[in-house]
Amino acid sequence: MPFLVTPQIGRRRVLRGLAAAAAVAVVPGAGRALAAPDLVTTPQQTEGPFYPKDWAGDIDNDLVRVHGEAAQALGKVTHVMGRVLDTSGASIAGARVEIWQCDASGVYRHPADTSWLRTRDPGFQGRGRVLTPENGAYAFRTIRPVAYPGRTPHIHFAIEVPGRPALITQMYVAGEPQNERDFILNNIKDARQRAGVIVNLEPGERMEADALVGTFDIVLPS
């Protein structure tokens, strides 16, 4: 049965649905493709000035709902999922995956982001964190990223695995006209690495009514 979220469905069910989505993020046959020996590593990118200072409180993988807020976040609900792998295609368990992004008005949950004094959306969690299970899967329920002056829409990612260097990278949206002008995206010189961080967002009715869904696999050096 497809996972469907309506305003009447509670937060726990949303989170259960996200966990289930992570478990099935790899479609039949995808394992063979991921096992190919030529997987390209995900490129290191800038952390940016707005890495979250506050990881207290609500930091789960549902950024659209915040504990204590009546309204959910403004913006288009988007499910982002994938797996953390090495270049051999092996899943990496125990990876801490963090994301952070601006809200639908282009404002980060960060004290230094005044963004011309626009009001930050209190219904948007702004950052989230999960640990990957044995299959290396992760999933977040967030909003479609938006552009702000100087940047194309993007979501920041940080991946930490014990015994490995941390990876800071960004995920971009396929088809955005600003992609061609974004200096951080286009600073990725390897075309295969650049293509690997650009994700198609498609209708996600199987996940949630009127939502989008995209798959972003993250490849670490073996």
pLDDT at 80 over 80: yes
Q: How far apart are CA 14 and CA 22, in angstroms?
A: 13
Average pLDDT over residues 217-221: 97
Q: How far apart are CA 70 and CA 67, in angstroms?
A: 8
Average pLDDT over residues 111-134: 92
Ranges of each domain in the chain: 11-220
pLDDT digits (tens, 9 = 90+) for 25-50: 544 334 444 445 579 999 999 999 99
pLDDT for the residue 18: 61
Average pLDDT over residues 153-178: 97
Task: Kindly tell me the burial class for residue 140, based on how many C-beta atoms sit within 10 Å of its own C-beta (0-12, 13-18, 19 or more).
Answer: buried
Q: pTM value? A: 0.85
The CATH superfamily label for domain 11-220 reads Aromatic compound dioxygenase (2.60.130.10)
pLDDT at 54 over 80: yes
